[in-house]
């Protein structure tokens, strides 16, 4: 085993030199680089998680909105149906009323026509009765008979009325 001071000294000098060199050109840049990359990866993961949370919130929001829109649409349809129903009912009611009015008018018309016809008939009947009476009176009918017959006739006519 040999020991020399100069090799001992060189060993220390060389170690310190390579320590400085490796620190400056190897450890420092590589460790800094690794740290940066770790930070970046960590940051990316955090960002991705945030983005996912945001997307989920957005999805939830859209779902809610969609449900709301659907409900609204249903309400609109229901309202429209109700309005249509009401309009139909109103129209029907109106038509019914109109029809009733027309029917009433028609009845009245018929009544009037009948009344007129009756009146005309009565005149006709009276005229005819007078003519018939003249003829009969002109031959055999007594005065009492005549009165009796007219009375009777008038009664009959009145019954018809």
Partner 1 sequence: MKGVREVEGHTSDILFKIFGLPVTSHVTTMWAIMAVLFILGLVVSRNLQKVPGRLQSLAEFTIEGLLNFFGGILGPEKARRYFPFLATFFLFILFSNWSGIFPGAGHLKGFKPPTSTWSVTIGLAIVVFVLVQVAGIREKGLGYLAHFIKPIPLLLPLNIIEELVKPLSLSLRLYGNIFGEETVAAVLFSLAPYFSPIPMQILGILFGFIQALVFTTLAAIYISTATAEGH
> Which residues form the interface with partner 1 (CB under 8 A)?
1-12, 14-19, 21-23, 25-27, 29-31, 33-34, 37
Closest CB to partner 1 among residues 7, 159? 7
Three-state SS annotation for the chain: CCCCHHHHHHHHHHHHHHHHHHHHHHHHHHHHHHHHHHHHHHHHHHHHHHHHHHHHHHHHHHHHHHHHHHHHHHHHHHHHHHHHHHHHHHHHHHHHHHHHHHHHHHHHHHHHHHHHHHHHHHHHHHHHHHHHHHHHHHHCCCHHHHHHHHHHHHHHHHHHC
CB of 45 to partner 1, least distance (A): 15
Is the Cβ of residue 30 or residue 55 nearer to partner 1 in the bound state? Answer: 30
Report in angstroms how near the CB of residue 52 gets to partner 1 at its nearest: 23
Smaller CB distance to partner 1: residue 42 or 79? 42
Q: How far is the CB of 16 from partner 1 (least distance, A)?
A: 8
């Amino acid at each position: 085993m040999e020991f020399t001071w100069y090799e001992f000294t060189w060993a220390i000098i060389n170690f310190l030199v390579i320590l400085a060199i490796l620190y400056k050109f190897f450890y420092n840049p590589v460790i800094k680089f690794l740290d940066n990359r770790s930070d970046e990866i960590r940051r990316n993961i955090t960002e991705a998680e945030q983005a996912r949370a945001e997307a989920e919130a957005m999805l939830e929001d859209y779902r809610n909105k969609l449900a709301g829109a659907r409900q609204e649409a249903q309400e609109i349809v229901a309202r429209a149906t109700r309005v249509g129903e009401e309009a139909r009912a109103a129209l029907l009611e109106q038509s019914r009323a109109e029809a009733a009015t027309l029917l009433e008018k028609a009845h009245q018309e018929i009544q009037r026509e009948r009344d007129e016809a009756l009146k005309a008939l009565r005149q006709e009947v009276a005229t005819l009765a007078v003519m018939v009476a003249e003829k009969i009176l002109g031959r055999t009918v007594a005065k009492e008979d005549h009165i009796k017959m007219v009375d009777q006739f008038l009664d009959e006519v009145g019954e018809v009325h």
